Structure 1
Amino acid sequence: MATRLWSFLTADIYDLVALEGAKGTVDAADAVLGLAEVFAEEGPNLQKLAPLVNQLDSLLAALNSPLGKLVGSTLPFLPIGPGLLKVYLEITQKELTLAQSVALISQAAYLESFREFVKQHPKVEQWLAAKDGTPQAKTITLEMKALGIFELSDQDARLAALHFQQSSLATAFNNALRARLVQLGIDDLKMANRIVEVIAKKTNRHMKTAIADAKSCLNLRLE
């Protein structure tokens, strides 16, 4: 069964958000950083996590926020994926599908890989930080909007878990990030392609780490 990347999660915690009364709104980068902070400092605190989850269309929506702020944080993004899986399991008391599990894990792993790449290339980090105050910094691309309706099948989820860079999920994520880099003014499309290819390839390692963590409480069948 195919699943969208995020809506299954927000649908099941909507009532919790309403009960707790989410206050105010934040941009996607702040929401993702907020999730990372809660998991790092408190673990699966439902009351604090739910309002943040409800303000996102996906974790990768943070790529359409000021990127200098996003990559400048030292908070780890990778634990967000397994953490949200555990929260979902606690809320619903039902096992997630493989596609749902990979949808959440892959988004956090891709963000971690993106931040890792930027930190390893100071000139890229400086360039992104310089773009934070520009009008383009908060403009949403069509490729990012497409992630909101992207559907992941169990078959492609299995491929993404084993060989992420070969999957349609990697293609969708890469398209969104490439479009963002072009929108911000990168003038070398070949360089943009190389960047997203490296990030997708290195996402494999983070996926394996996150899946190993998630297996402690979830049944992820990859065979």
Structure 2
Amino acid sequence: MSQRLSQIWQQFQQLFSLPESLDTTIETGQAVFIAAKTLQEQDASIKVLKSVLQNSSSLLDVLCLPMAQIVGADLPFMPIGIALLKFAHDIYKQPLSLEDCVFIMSQVAYLESTKEILKIHSHVNWDAKSQITDLVTQQLQKLNQLELDRDRAIQALNGFQISPLATAFNQVLLARLASANISKSLAKLLTQRIA
């Protein structure tokens, strides 16, 4: 069965007993960043994961933060995905769907790759004139409307870089890089390498 990514996120929110509405008291993306930092320093806790689920619409919301903060902090994003899936499995008491696992782990893998690739290009000012534009927000909203079913999840596993999921993730990152006045050619090259 095909589900929008926003529906999968809402299922995680419901599983962790959270309201489906986004809490805007914390800047979007900040909850993901704080969780990555917290999980680097201590063991995973439901409280940290609830904050991520309640204060963001996806893990890729972290791309709304200054890129220097993401790259410079050198925080691991993988523990967030692993902890989300582990706690969800423990709460649900059943195996999670392939779609759930691909949805979460593809985001953390993409963020890890983004961090590593951007780190290689340390001479670039990723935040020059950076202002999160409506285009970034639109791309995140568009991403949340993407449908994911078992076939698309398998496609992402077999060749992520050519999957619809990668295309949607790349559109978010391209919009983010454009907001920092990164040239289209460099932005396209980077997103190809990241995916």
Q: Name the TM-score, length of structure 2 as normaliser.
A: 0.86
Output the CA distance in 2 between the equivalents of 1:11 and 1:66: 30
Matched, 1:110 2:110: yes
Cα displacement string for residues 51-106 of structure 1 (whole angstroms, at most 9, x for unaligned residues): 23210100101112222212221221122212211011122222211011000000
2:17 matched residue in structure 1: 14
Over the matched positions of the two proteins, sequence identity in percent amounts to 35
Alignment of 1:142-161 (within 5 A): 142-161=138-157
Closer/same/farther in 2, CA of residues 30 and 160 from structure 1, 3 Å limit: same
User: Aligned pair 1:33/2:40, yes or no?
Assistant: no
Hey, what does 1:193 align to over in structure 2?
Answer: 188
Structure 1: gaps of 5 or more residues:
201-223
User: Residue 156 of structure 1 aligns to which amino acid in structure 2?
Assistant: R
C-alpha distance in 2, partners of 1:185/1:24?
27
Counterpart amino acid of residue 83 in structure 2: G
Structure 2 segments unaligned to the other structure (5+ residues): none
Amino acid at match of 1:142: Q
For the residue of structure 1 that corresponds to 2:123, the secondary structure is helix
Give me the whole-angstrom Cα distance separating, in 1, the residues matched to 2:47 and 2:137: 31
Q: Give distance in 1, aligned partners of 2:184 and 2:24.
A: 38
Q: CA separation in 2, counterparts of 1:174 and 1:158?
A: 19
Is the Cα–Cα contact under 8 Å of residues 127 and 180 in structure 2 kept in the other structure?
Answer: no
Distance 2:4 2:38 in 1: 24
Partner of 1:209: none
Equivalent pairs, count: 189
Residues 31-70 of structure 1 mapped to structure 2, 5 A cutoff: 31-70=31-70
SS at the partner of 2:78? Answer: coil
Q: Would you say 1:180 and 2:183 are equivalent positions?
A: no
Shift of 1:24: 8.3
Structure 1 residue 36: Cα displacement: 1.3
Give a deviation string over 1:99-147, Cα, whole Å, max 9, x none.
Answer: 11000000000000000011111123xx12444xx5x147543112111
Per-residue Cα deviation, 1:184-222 (whole angstroms, up to 9, x for no partner): 212x3222111100000xxxxxxxxxxxxxxxxxxxxxx
Q: CA 1:144–1:77 in 2, change beyond 3 Å: closer, same or farther?
A: same
